[in-house]
């Protein structure tokens, strides 16, 4: 028997000035800025941050080469305060890979905005842990292990008034267990949603307030990453290397990143744009294959992989930015999609957006306002530093999608040069993205099957072994958090039409089609493996999968991703 909401005890409720969902760079920047402003004004302010990971940083996965402009404006003395960003970029390398060789593109061809000098290489997970400490020191209440699972609306439904955390201790069958604990309501004058790419509450807000009306569909990539400890003689601290081309074909967008930092550490990753067409493509296996390229494999000889994970990255950029504000709240950072795609950077904009939202919310609270629209935040994002970063690169992704990797990158380069010379105006046009990513997939009958090489266990690994390096853990006896609108679709539609691509796009082996040969295939969801990348919610061709938050604290436990 499922639990009946009406029969449950009412939830406890707590009031705050500002409630923030997500302790990533955007959410924590907002919290820090709010407290800085309150201290300057000698005013009491209550701010709470909810984070679904077991600790701050546990669910953060990024490259990361970090443009310090966000941090500089939030905490100008971050260097002397011990922020964990110590490796400065020394060398930029951009490669075009063929199956057996590589071509280094001369740096002078790159528009200046692509230059990484002045940036830092590090772990965004570690940086958010540090930001979490700064926030706590300023008096922010940071609650890791608590997922915001429900939006609270005003009685007439016109404004957001807070969020509720999920009930804990509910069994897989929906029945409360002995450990059952009721969720909690956190009510705020303003609620800031900083859930990162494809946030589950953000998705609902976008639909409820029609935030994406009038903008292009959001675009995404899936980013897979490993951290390696390599031999000192192979380590080149400060080297930033990107590649495009092999193993992807010219029609499939994506590429690799490889950053040398810290004590013999290398962050190696691969992004596949989720508008790929071939349902047989496996982003995970493309990543593994990439590492075997003769220009790449030697770096890892004698080294060991110490961490693995995956996360969706937003790629829609300027033309996909939804309306950011609604009565009672706002979308911050990658919940709205603020990645500069050719630079593969979004953390600086996440911090800047958090800061801007905090300034708008603080001014509103000082004016005695609540639950209304923070228009000043939207204005700042659309006219300030974030706009100056995103606008000049707005055509790169559509050009790449339309003309394929090789021509698309060349045309994107020309477009970025035009925008550099003609100050963000460029040739004057803004290209559209067209259809959402899930609609790009082709019927299996017309697609080429792809045979991937078997992993060798030294340089390349099978999915499940790698998932064990993500520290992923969920309470097994809880409702499945990957909700199928129609449980029949994976076998009745997705399997015959698209060879059920979930088996391949999921980087954690969550989805399996079990076929015992008796002609009765079964769809199995191994929810406990989920690394919260959100790819299934984006790419399922039938849009039948809805990712909702599992119990707080579940999911990956990334050490320093």
Ligand X SMILES: Cc1cc2nc3c(=O)[nH]c(=O)nc-3n(C[C@H](O)[C@H](O)[C@H](O)COP(=O)(O)OP(=O)(O)OC[C@H]3O[C@@H](n4cnc5c(N)ncnc54)[C@H](O)[C@@H]3O)c2cc1C
The answer to whether residue 66 forms part of the interface with ligand X (CB under 6 A) is yes
Q: Which of residues 529-558 bind ligand SF4 (CB under 6 A)?
A: 530-536, 547
The torsion defined by the Cα of 523, 527, 528 and 530, in degrees rounded to 10, comes to 110
Q: Which does 536 bind (CB under 5 to 8 A by kind): ligand X, ligand SF4, none?
A: ligand SF4
Q: Which does 510 bind (CB under 5 to 8 A by kind): ligand X, ligand SF4, none?
A: ligand SF4
Residue 309 DSSP one-character state: E
Q: Which does 196 bind (CB under 5 to 8 A by kind): ligand SF4, ligand X, none?
A: ligand X
Candidates 111, 196, 392, 501: give the one binding ligand X (CB under 6 A).
196
The dihedral through the CA atoms of 468, 473, 476, 481 has a sign that is negative
Q: Per this entry, what is the length of the chain?
A: 561
Question: Residues near 432 by Cβ (< 8 Å), separated by ≥ 6?
Answer: 216, 319, 398
Q: Which of residues 494-513 bind ligand SF4 (CB under 6 A)?
A: 506-508, 510
Question: Which region, judged by CB under 6 A, interacts with ligand X, from 51-59, 442-450, 471-479, 505-513?
Answer: 51-59
Distance CA 370, CA 328 (A): 7
Q: Is the bond preceding residue 64 a cis peptide, omega within 30 degrees?
A: yes
Contact pattern from residue 116 through residue 145 relative to ligand X, giving x for each residue in contact according to CB under 6 A and a dash for the rest = --------x---------------------
Interhelix angle 124-137/25-40, rounded to 10 degrees, is: 30
Candidates 31, 45, 60, 330: give the one binding ligand X (CB under 6 A).
60
Q: Which of residues 226-245 bind ligand SF4 (CB under 6 A)?
A: none
Question: Which region, judged by CB under 6 A, interacts with ligand X, from 35-43, 91-99, 196-204, 415-423?
Answer: 196-204
301, 340, 354 from 460: Cα distances, Å: 12, 30, 38
Residue 198 DSSP one-character state: T
Q: What value, to the nearest 5°, has the Cα angle with vertex 268 and ends 297 and 442?
A: 95
Name the 3-class secondary structure at 384: coil
Shortest Cβ distance from residue 148 to ligand X (Å)? 4
Strand partners, 144: 51
Distance CA 121, CA 119 (A): 7
Q: Of 53 and 501, which has the nearer Cβ to ligand X? A: 53
Q: Which of residues 541-560 bind ligand X (CB under 6 A)?
A: 549
The answer to whether residue 225 forms part of the interface with ligand SF4 (CB under 6 A) is no
Q: Of 397 and 534, which has the nearer Cβ to ligand SF4? A: 534
Candidates 18, 20, 25, 482: give the one binding ligand X (CB under 6 A).
25
Residue 493 DSSP one-character state: I
Shortest Cβ distance from residue 223 to ligand SF4 (Å)? 11
Closest to 317 (Cα-Cα) out of 296, 332, 338: 338
Q: Which does 166 bind (CB under 5 to 8 A by kind): ligand SF4, ligand X, none?
A: none
Question: Which region, judged by CB under 6 A, interacts with ligand X, from 47-55, 78-86, 417-425, 460-468?
Answer: 47-55
Contact pattern from residue 434 through residue 473 relative to ligand SF4, giving x for each residue in contact according to CB under 6 A and a dash for the rest = ----------------------------------------
Locate 443 and state its tokens: 């019927």
Candidates 16, 19, 24, 122: give the one binding ligand X (CB under 6 A).
24
Closest to 194 (Cα-Cα) out of 27, 421, 3: 27
The answer to whether residue 23 forms part of the interface with ligand X (CB under 6 A) is yes
Contact predicate 317/340, CB 8 Å: yes
Residue numbers of the site for ligand X (CB under 6 A)? Answer: 21-27, 50-53, 59-66, 124, 147-148, 194-197, 199-201, 223, 225, 269, 271, 311, 313, 333-335, 339, 344-348, 350, 549
């Amino acid at each position: 028997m499922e639990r009946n909401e009406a029969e449950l005890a009412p939830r406890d409720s707590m009031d705050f000035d500002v409630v923030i969902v997500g302790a990533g760079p955007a959410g924590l920047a907002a919290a820090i800025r709010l407290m800085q402003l309150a201290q300057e004004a000698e005013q009491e302010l209550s701010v709470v941050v909810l984070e679904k990971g077991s600790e701050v940083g546990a669910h953060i996965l990024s490259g990361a080469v970090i443009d310090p402009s966000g941090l500089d404006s939030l905490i100008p003395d971050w260097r002397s305060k011990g922020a964990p960003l110590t490796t400065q970029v020394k060398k930029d390398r951009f490669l075009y890979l063929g199956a057996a060789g590589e071509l280094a593109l001369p740096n002078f061809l790159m528009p200046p905005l692509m230059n990484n000098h002045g940036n830092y290489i590090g772990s965004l997970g570690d940086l958010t842990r540090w930001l979490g400490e700064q926030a706590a020191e300023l008096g922010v209440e940071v609650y890791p292990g608590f997922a915001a699972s429900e939006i609270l609306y005003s009685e007439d439904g016109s404004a957001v008034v807070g969020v509720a955390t999920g009930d804990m201790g509910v069994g897989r069958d929906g029945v409360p267990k002995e450990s059952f604990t009721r969720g909690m309501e956190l009510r705020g004058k303003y609620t800031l949603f900083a859930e990162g790419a494809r946030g589950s509450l953000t998705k609902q807000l976008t639909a409820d307030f029609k935030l994406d009306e009038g903008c292009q569909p959001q675009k995404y990539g899936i980013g897979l990453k490993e951290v390696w400890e390599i031999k000192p003689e192979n380590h080149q601290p400060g080297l930033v290397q990107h590649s495009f081309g092999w193993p992807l074909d010219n029609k499939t967008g994506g590429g690799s990143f490889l950053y040398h930092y810290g004590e013999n550490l290398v962050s190696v990753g691969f992004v596949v744009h989720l508008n790929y067409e071939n349902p047989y493509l496996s982003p995970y296996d493309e990543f593994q294959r990439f590492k075997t390229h003769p220009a790449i494999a030697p770096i890892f000889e004698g080294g060991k992989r110490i961490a693995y994970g995956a996360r969706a990255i937003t790629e829609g950029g300027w033309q996909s930015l939804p309306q950011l504000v609604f009565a009672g709240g706002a979308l911050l950072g990658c919940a709205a999609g603020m990645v500069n795609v050719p630079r593969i950077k979004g953390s600086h904009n996440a911090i800047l957006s958090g800061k801007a939202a905090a300034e708008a919310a603080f001014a509103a609270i000082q004016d005695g306002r609540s639950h209304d629209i923070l228009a000043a935040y939207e204005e700042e994002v659309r006219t300030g530093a974030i706009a100056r970063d995103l606008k000049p690169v707005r055509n790169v992704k559509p050009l790449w999608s339309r003309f394929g990797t090789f021509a698309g990158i060349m045309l994107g380069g020309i477009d970025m040069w035009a925008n550099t010379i003609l100050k963000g105006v460029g040739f004057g046009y803004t290209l559209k993205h067209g259809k959402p990513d899930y609609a790009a997939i082709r019927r299996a009958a017309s697609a080429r099957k792809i045979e991937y090489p078997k992993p060798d266990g030294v340089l390349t690994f099978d999915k499940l072994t790698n998932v064990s390096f993500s520290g992923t853990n969920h309470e097994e006896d809880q409702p499945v958090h990957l909700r199928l609108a129609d449980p029949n679709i994976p076998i009745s539609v997705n399997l015959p039409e698209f060879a059920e691509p979930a088996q391949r796009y999921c980087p954690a082996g969550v989805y399996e089609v079990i076929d015992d040969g008796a002609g009765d295939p079964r769809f199995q969801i191994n929810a406990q493996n989920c690394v919260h990348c959100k790819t299934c919610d984006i790419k399922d061709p039938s849009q039948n999968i809805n990712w909702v938050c599992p119990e707080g604290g579940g999911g990956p436990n990334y050490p320093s991703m």
